[in-house]
Amino acid sequence: MVEFNNSQRLGLDLDRHIALDAGAGTGKTTVMAERYVQHLFAAEQRATHLTPPGPRTPMSGLGALRAPKRERTDVTAWQGLLPSEVVAITFTRKSAAELKARIRHRLSQARALPPGPEDQDGVFDPRLRNEGDVEMLLSGLDEAPISTIDAFLNQLVQPYIDLVALYPSNQQVTEERKPLMVKDTLHAVWRIRSIDDAREAGVLNHHQAFLDARNRLVARLGGQDQAEIVLGGLLDRSLFVEQSHRSMIQRAEDMGLPWNGRGPAPVDVLLDTIAEPVAALLPDFASVLHQRLSGWVQEFLPYHAQCVAPAETETQLTRFNHLVRLTTQPVPQQIGEQLSWVWKALLGISTASGLVKPVCSFFPRDLLPTGDGWPSGLLSKTPVRNMTKDEKDALYQRAKNHLPALRTHLSSADGTLIRLLARSAFLLNPMDGFDGMPLDSALRLDPLEDPIPTEAGERGTYVSASLQTQVLSDLHVVHTACNQILARRKSLDNMHDFDDMQRFAADLLLARCPDICRHRYPPAVIDALDGLGDEPWSDAHVSRALTLLNDRPTLQEDLARRYAILGELRRQYRAFIIDEYQDTNPSHYRLLARLWGRRRHHPDDPARPLGAWDPTVCIVGDMKQSIYRFRQAEVSVMRRAVASIRAFNRDESGEQRLDHLRQPGCGRDPRPVGGGGETGSFSNLHDGEPSAPHTFVPFAEEDQEGRPAIAGERLVRRSEGHVDLTSNHRTRHDLMETMNDMFDEVFSPRYHALPGDWHAEAQRLRPARATEHSGVLEWLLPIPGSIGEVPADLDVAVNTFEDPNASAVHLEHELLADRLHALLHQAPTRVWNSDTSEWVTVHDEGPPVRAEDIMILINSRKHLPDLVDRLRARNIPVMADRQGLLLMQPVVQPLMAVLALMARPTMRKAGVVLARSPVVGMTEGEVHQAFTTLDADVAVLPHLIANAPSQSVAELLENLQRLISWGAVYDVFDAVLDDSDLLVAHPDDAQRQFAEAWLAIVQSIGNETGHDAAAIHRRMVEIRELGRQGPQAITKPNASAVQIMTIHGSKGLQAPVVVVSGLFSAGKADASMSVQDNILVTPQVLAGRIQPWRANDRPQDGLWAFAAEMNKAQDKAELRRKFYVALTRVKDRLILTGSPGNASTFDEETGTLSVRIAPDPRTMGRMFIEGLRRATWCAGGGAPWVTQQELQETTLPLFKPQRS
């Protein structure tokens, strides 16, 4: 059996809620499986003492169980939990299957009696009374809720589908069908011309409001095509749009504003959202800025006639007068207005272009700027008249003395953060901010309001607050209508998708007002049910709704019945174990938390727990591995859940019913001692150790003996259920310690662009892998060689490093392919020694490396084909998880041509594709000859048979024609794959999988369309036109090939050799890709990019600027977490590739290696260099990326890139 360390044993404590903060490779899956088994075996645990048994139905039927009834405990009398009462949620179907397999294996090892000598795997557990108990528990695993969140919600909803679905269905929308339905929905939106059309299309209510909102959006977003892009982006993020809308409603309620989500929101809600990150520090910051700015202004006011008035000859609308007005009035009290006031002050003391730069210059040349068409209004010292030189010097020196404090204040971390947000607040609420500017100043903007003019004016514009809130309201109205139209569209085909099931689950669990009730319940009741609040396990909103229905008994009875069903559902589940919790999005968290509230109370039930959650909850995750923001997963979700767990454990610390299971300063390992050997674990040997029903684990005890006791905040966290697993069993010790130093720098708070709860914290992992071998860290630095001439002979290979047309990516892939070839064939590898100016041969230690031991991680698939080609050119077996679009793969093109000829026998284009393909194998001359003799509107296939290049090809085509005439659609494709040279020309396993995937889609479409070739072809053409939204070319890994995958695809995997490719370009394009739909959705707010005039610049948009800054900051934080995930997949050897600059050279004659270390700050490469600096600094060694002076510093300075 596995020997658990102390932290893992604390994770088995069943008497508290547990949050396992499990670092990479710390054995969390093993702990989860063991915890699940202990829930089943233990009669003494929180769930058995504080919650009643769920509905237990004995298994019936002949042969249900092999063990006779007398040899097993009846399920109704079982003292522990049953598999049906323990929910285990994982992130993927693969991990769910793995977890279930581990649980099954662990259960199958349990024995009610001490195992005999021949039973090597058996483990005696004294809590089992009968040998048949294990079989009884194993039989329950088949239907146990061990699955993904989507599968669990589907299982939850199915018995009640008629209660929540407007259009009940029984088929899942296929992956290739969903984008087509969305496309049809968007087309339907534009076809609607009247209320009757809207009602017929599926819009349930507010039909005229939908028509008006749609028409306004077309004008405001720049036309129908741009509006369609935005609406498509909304539908892709549908559930997250609803979450954002609920957040705004909750914020309005917290602010005491009377807004229920219908109509434009109060602008104060948006201003409060923008100011939230700086709400605590803004009042003091603004007050200090007002005071210091006033001090500077007051120096010149007594000399107005000499220094100010002469500068006002053309206009009194100057920067100085603007600052006088700001400093003579008090700072606003409202937080959003304070933020706007700060930007007004910044506009006066800096240029507009400087304010948007990371480092801004304030008071250029110690005076006010004069650019942007806005005069400074203050003379420099030299032109001042009617003052002596000493008076002028003294005045300007006194004013200059104020500037260092002002600049320090504004350039501080708080000042930079406030400056980022102040512009957004100002554009939403400029107040009188433009009044002090000349009319012809480039900084003066006109508000863009309804009605929007048909043409843009000469002056720039900004989106007014009223227009902004109206656009947000319109987006929500149209989004709701689009969802209703889409639901109607799916109902016509008797289909549903995962989003539907999530909505049905929300309706069933009363996380919101059920859609099926919205046309019957009064608006006040709908608002009450929609107001779930920040504690989703609470039922206060349901109680409010029931009270509001006191005068509507029929509706009250309906809601009470739904509430009773929720209470009974909660009774079914007594424990939850949730894996990969850092990848849980807010919507999933709300739904799961709805099951953790108070269950329906029956007369014989025990008293409710002191905490707010009835079941025992265990969440397992690692905030440093949260990399699914595109699915709205956020670190903040896990932070809130951990805070709740700690709070409820504190609430239950006085629970007297659990006193006999507790010992001060300790957690409890529920596994009995005495049935086996070592403490807290099991063995099939007996050494006479005294028996005990359980053991206690001190919170302060480290995993490794001899280490100092845990103290401080970490000890408090562990005592409140937040347990960190820090023993890494995956990576070799020295490599792990180096990565620890690197991650300390990568996750340092000094790289936080904006403060927020989305940042992960560094966690040092203790190497615990039992090995004496050292780890290896390699950096492959591609450097171009001497440029040579490309040989004209196509049979002569081109040296990539001498090719003038080779890009940095080509060099990187070529070097990587050579290195992997050397590893696989144990060929000697030479490394340049700069000290001795010679090549040194490096001998690899450890076991030989096989192809299946290598995992290559990429951030983007843009250059994947080039990498695959270079590896295959060296006969290295390789398999990529995705290789572009399925319908564009070479093996699929001939199959598409055959389908086209089945649908349209006279299609010449399809005939040419088929003739050129390996199926027929004609040369270009033969193709030309055959099709120039083909008359118009004549069937292509008989003509191909007549002009076939060989007898075997002619026989194949005749067979295809015969099968087509019989209507054997799928047999045609089988014949092409089995009897032609198609898979001979494309022999790799990936192409075979692509052909099978294409056939599966064709058969799925055939089932829907009556197996008609023309209908199938029409649908396949529509799918091909989807472009990037179409089916992807996905492959299942081969057991003996190098695996290439994205960092997202590597979650949960590990490999002896891990290569991280494209390190110095990873992250450059992420920010631009996230806004390509002109829509940004964050948990706080939704923003659509407004552009009324396509030929002109966009109006300045405060809300979009805020959402973009928030998105950018969170993207940067996620990129750091992706870097962590990529590196921690490694077991033995980590290889990083890429060049940190654009000026790396190697002089073969002198042996001089010149590398410019200046990686792009947006990339993982920058993180690697910063982390490498930290590791070098900690080791005290010298390296090109750390200077000797920096090595002497007590704190490592920030990295400054080398100048070219």
Residue 694: closest CA among 666, 720, 669, 727: 669
Buried/exposed code over 1111-1122 (b: 16+ C-beta within 10 A; e: otherwise): bbbbbbbbbbbb
Given 383, 409, 444, the domain boundary residue is 444
- Shared-domain flag, residues 355 and 323: yes
Give yes or no for a contact between 241 and 1081, defined as CB atoms under 8 angstroms apart: yes
Torsions phi, psi for 738 (to 5 deg): -65, -45
Provide the pLDDT for residue 402.
93
pLDDT of residue 70: 60
Residue 495 has pLDDT above 70, yes or no: yes
CA distance 1142 to 1126: 24
Q: Are residues 888 and 858 in the same domain?
A: no
Supply the mean pLDDT for the chain. Answer: 88
Inside any domain, residue 670: no
| Residue 940 maps to a domain | yes
Q: Tell whether 1081 is covered by a domain.
A: no
Q: Strands 616-621, 666-669: parallel, antiparallel or unpaired by DSSP?
A: unpaired
CA distance 1196 to 317: 48
The predicted structure's pLDDT at residue 64: 52
Q: Of 282-296, 321-335, 665-679, which range is least confident?
A: 665-679
Residue 831's pLDDT band (boundaries 50, 70, 90)? confident
What mean pLDDT do residues 423-440 have? 88
Q: What is d(CA 822, CA 818) in angstroms, rounded to the nearest whole number? A: 6
When pLDDT is cut at 50, 70 and 90, the band that residue 1070 belongs to is low
Please name the residue that has the structure tokens 């039989």. 139
Domain total for the chain?
Answer: 5
- Cβ burial of 194 (10 Å; 0-12, 13-18, 19+) is exposed
Q: Position of tokens 């993207």?
A: 1115
The per-residue pLDDT for 684 is 41
Q: Is residue 682 part of a domain?
A: no
Domain with 1155 in it: 776-787+798-878+1041-1069+1116-1192
Bigger pLDDT: 1 vs 811: 811
DSSP state of 1046: E
* pLDDT (average), residues 321-327: 93
Residue 630 lies in a domain: yes
Q: Do 569 and 595 contact (CB within 8 A), yes or no? A: yes
Ranges of H-type helices in 1070-1187: 1070-1073, 1102-1127, 1164-1179
pLDDT of 1089 reads: 86
SS3 label, residue 126: coil
pLDDT at 92: 86
CA 157-89-566 angle, to 5 degrees, is 35
CB atoms within 10 A of CB 1084: 19
Q: What DSSP assignment string belongs to 617-651?
A: EEEEE-GGG---GGGT--HHHHHHHHHHHHHHHHH
Mean pLDDT of 1024-1049: 85
Quote the crossing angle between the two packed helices 892-903 and 908-916, to the nearest 10°. 150
When pLDDT is cut at 50, 70 and 90, the band that residue 1202 belongs to is low
- pLDDT tens for each residue of 1114-1170: 889 999 999 999 999 999 999 999 888 777 777 777 767 778 888 888 899 999 999
**CA 393/CA 650 separation, integer angstroms:** 66
485 shares a domain with 417: no
Supply the pLDDT for residue 606: 92
Are 256 and 303 in a shared domain?
no
Q: Which of 730-739, 839-848, 909-918 has the lowest mean pLDDT?
A: 839-848
In a domain, 900, yes or no: yes
Q: Does residue 1093 form part of some domain?
A: no
Phi, psi of 327 (to 5 degrees): -85, -20
Give 718-773 pLDDT, tens digit per residue: 999 999 999 999 999 999 999 999 999 999 998 887 777 888 899 999 998 888 88
Residues near 1158 by Cβ (< 8 Å), separated by ≥ 6? Answer: 1140, 1141, 1201, 1202, 1203, 1204
Phi and psi, residue 67, nearest 5°: -70, 130
pTM above 0.85, yes or no: yes
Q: Is 93 found in the same domain as 47?
A: yes
Residue 62 pLDDT: 41
Contacts of 187 by beta carbon, 8 Å cutoff, 6+ apart: none
pLDDT over threshold 70, residue 1071: no
pLDDT band at 60 (very low <50, low <70, confident <90, very high): low
Contact 1006, 1018 (CB under 8 A): no
**Quick one: average pLDDT of 363-371?**
89
Same domain, residue pair 299 and 255: no
Share of the chain above pLDDT 90, in %: 48
- Are 120 and 18 within one domain? yes
> What confidence tens digit (pLDDT) does each residue in 471-485 have?
999 999 999 999 999
Task: Indicate the burial class of 1141 (C-beta count within 10 angstroms; 0-12, 13-18, 19 or more).
Answer: middle
Q: What is the pLDDT of residue 845?
A: 74
Q: Are residues 288 and 420 in the same domain?
A: yes
Tokens 């290598």, residue located: 854
CATH number of the domain encompassing residue 1008 = 1.10.486.10
User: Tokens 């937040």 correspond to what residue?
Assistant: 722
How far apart, in Å, are the Cα atoms of 621 and each of 31, 417, 578, 718? Answer: 12, 30, 8, 15
Q: Which amino acid is at 458?
A: E
298 lies in the same domain as 433: yes
Three-class SS of residue 993? helix
Residues 520-579: pLDDT tens digits?
Answer: 999 999 989 988 888 999 999 999 999 999 999 999 999 999 999 999 999 999 999 999
Residue 775 to residue 1131: CA distance in whole angstroms: 8
Confidence of residue 857 (pLDDT cuts 50, 70, 90): very high
- Please check the confidence at residue 151 and state whether its pLDDT lies above 80: yes
Q: What is the arithmetic mean of pLDDT over 65-83?
A: 76
Query: What does the pLDDT read at residue 679?
Result: 36
Read off φ and ψ for residue 16, nearest 5 degrees.
Answer: -140, 160
**Judgement on whether residues 109 and 245 belong to the same structural domain of the protein:** no
Q: Between 90 and 172, name the one with better pLDDT.
A: 90
350 and 389 within one domain: yes
Answer yes or no: are the C-beta atoms of 956 and 979 closer than 8 Å: yes
Structure confidence at residue 804 (pLDDT): 73
- The predicted pLDDT at position 375 comes to 92
Determine the pLDDT at residue 84.
93
- Answer whether 1103's CB lies under 8 Å from 468's CB: yes
Report CA-CA distances (Å) from 928 to 265, 500, 925, 934.
Answer: 66, 52, 5, 10
Examine the pLDDT at 350 and tell me if it is beyond 60.
Answer: yes
Q: What is the 3-state secondary structure (H, E, C) of 1022-1036?
A: HHHCCHHHCCEEECC
Helix (H, G, I), strand (E, B) or coil at 538: coil
Q: Is 1073's pLDDT higher than 70?
A: no
**pLDDT at 1075 exceeding the cut of 70:** no
pLDDT in tens, 258-267: 888 888 999 9
Q: Residue 835: CB partners within 8 Å, gap ≥ 6?
A: none
The answer, yes or no, to whether residue 960 has pLDDT greater than 90, is yes
Q: Would you say residue 217 lies in a domain?
A: yes
Q: Is the pLDDT of residue 687 over 50?
A: no
Going by pLDDT thresholds of 50, 70 and 90, the confidence category of residue 1188 is: confident
Domain of residue 1159, CATH code: 3.40.50
- Please name the helix (run of DSSP H) or strand (run of DSSP E) that holds residue 1016, with its range, or none: helix 1013-1024
pLDDT at residue 788, as a whole number: 67
CA 1174, CA 745: separation in Å to the nearest integer?
Answer: 6
Query: Beta strand pairing status for 1042-1046 and 878-880?
Result: parallel
Per-residue pLDDT reduced to its tens digit, 217-271: 998 888 888 898 889 888 888 877 888 888 888 889 888 888 888 889 999 999 9
Residues 6+ apart with CB under 8 A from 699: 10, 665, 666, 667, 710, 715, 718, 719
- Tens-digit pLDDT profile for residues 971-1003: 999 999 999 999 999 988 888 999 999 999 999
CA-to-CA separations, 646 to 667, 717, 1179, in angstroms, rounded: 14, 8, 37
* Amino acid, single-letter form, for residue 372: D
Same domain, 990 and 910: yes
**Do 511 and 536 meet the contact criterion of CB atoms below 8 Å apart?**
yes
